[in-house]
Amino acid sequence: MDNLFLRPSYFDKLKEYIDKPVLKIISGLRRSGRSSVLKMIACEILKNVPSNQVVYIDLESPQFSSIKSSDDLLLYINENLTTTTKYYLFLDEVIQIHNWELVIDMLSIRNIDLYISGSSLSLVFNDAKISCEYSTVSVIVYPLSFKEFLDFKVKKRFIILEPNYKYSDIVIDTMLKSYIKVGGFPFISLIEQNDTTIQTAIQDILDSILYRGTLRSNIDNELLHLILTFIYENIGKIISFFAISNYLKNMQIDTDNREIKKILDTLEEIFLIKKVYCYNISEERTYDTIYKYYITDHSLQYLTQGFDNLNNIQGVLENIIYIELIRRKYDVKVGIIKSLEVDFIAKKDQEIIYIQVCAHANQNNIFERTLKSLKLITRAPNRIVITNSRIFGIDLKYVRSIQLKDFLLNEDFLNL
């Protein structure tokens, strides 16, 4: 386990369910560290259980290439889990097996503590197809948060902590710039090379995600990449289906809306993009025709614009903040009030937070424009603006300002 990077937000939750009669489901974007979380749990179990009782099957590994169907998988399990002893079974990328749910059902009557993982939303929302013998607990693994990014750098000895085991302000500021640039894919965080090398590595990750995730979808590859490019270039902007269709027409691509929807649904299915609906604050209703898209790791946005020529740093910061909010289990929508936009309405339990993001806090005209929508929301105590720099000489009145680094490093950011 020494070579694995411990991610407590996932590990601690799953650890609670070891030996419980619950199906453990670990899902998330490829290359985000999902399999490592699975291996952490296996290592934890091995502390107290003989190794012959812990069986780990990676269904994308050449070692298990002979397993091509649910029958093959069940046969392998029956041949290798032969006694009545309790086993701990890990099935990584189980969705590669057609009718995998049938295997899960068959195993429900065995003395097996079962863990499954995959890079598809169908794994999370497939409870109806899983035997009623099982209750389930689900964890979605995201790329590294900024806090995890810092800890990961320490683990891999890119950062040396101060004697009091705290990060200095200089380290935090430097690493935040790096995080904004390279994102949260663990492998990318290890690269200390030039921009070209990093961009090539990010492209390789995207190619892997798309190849594995769309292999069985019969999707037009050119259309897929054009739609992805449109999303990258419009991060943080309210868009519609009509806008995507027009973009494709301008590119001389003739396609119908069903194909566009199929691609967007597939990209959401493999955790690559997230759709955020717009909510009219005054009318208290959600629109179903306009929305924003964010990507699960903001580094992918640089593939179309490069690191030095990015003209949408506002979108990058919004993307980082949105992913952090859903990582913290907030339900998030985009707010609209009197034709103005509130970047995020974040709800959890009884708490509602209205959030604006401002990448250019010290340009007064931009900042004042950012605050307009928040000022229209009356009787709302939690109105904040998140900035990438300190604010000087601006009267915020009823709106609080929080720096991006403080938001990212403190889950209890409202009480800072």
Q: Tell me the per-residue pLDDT of 50-72, one tens digit each, with 9 for 90 and over.
A: 999 999 999 999 999 999 999 99
Q: What is the rounded CA–CA span in Å between residue 239 and residue 104? A: 40
Q: Between 241-250 and 221-233, two packed helices, what is the crossing angle to 10 degrees?
A: 120
**Helix or strand or coil: residue 24?**
strand
Separation between Cα atoms, residue 9 and residue 309, nearest integer Å: 35
pLDDT at position 413 is 87
* Full pLDDT tens readout for the chain, 416 residues: 557 788 999 999 999 999 999 999 999 999 999 999 999 999 999 999 999 999 999 999 999 999 999 999 999 999 999 888 999 999 999 988 988 988 998 898 889 999 999 998 877 665 545 555 668 899 999 999 999 999 888 776 666 565 556 778 888 999 999 999 889 999 888 876 678 888 889 999 999 999 888 766 788 888 999 999 999 989 999 999 889 999 999 988 888 888 999 999 999 999 999 999 999 999 999 999 999 999 999 999 888 766 665 667 889 999 999 999 999 999 999 999 999 999 999 999 989 999 999 887 666 666 777 888 998 998 788 999 999 877 655 556 778 889 999 999 999 988 86
Is residue 93 within 8 Å of residue 84, measured between CB atoms?
no
Q: Are 303 and 196 in contact (CB under 8 A)?
A: no
For 80-119, write each residue's pLDDT tens digit.
998 889 999 999 999 889 889 889 988 988 899 999 999 9
Query: What letter does residue 129 receive in the DSSP assignment?
Result: G
CATH of domain 8-141: 3.40.50.300
Question: Is the separation of the CB atoms in 48 and 16 below 8 Å?
Answer: no
pLDDT of residue 128: 44
d(CA 88, CA 152) in angstroms, rounded, equals 28
The pLDDT of residue 84 is 86
Under DSSP, is residue 370 helix (H, G, I), strand (E, B) or coil? helix
| pLDDT at residue number 400 | 87
> How high is the pLDDT of residue 129?
52
Which residues, in sequence order, are bridge partners of residue 347? 331, 352
Q: Which residues of the chain form CATH 3.40.50.300?
A: 8-141
Alpha-carbon separation of residue 154 from 6, 101, 162 (angstroms): 12, 40, 11
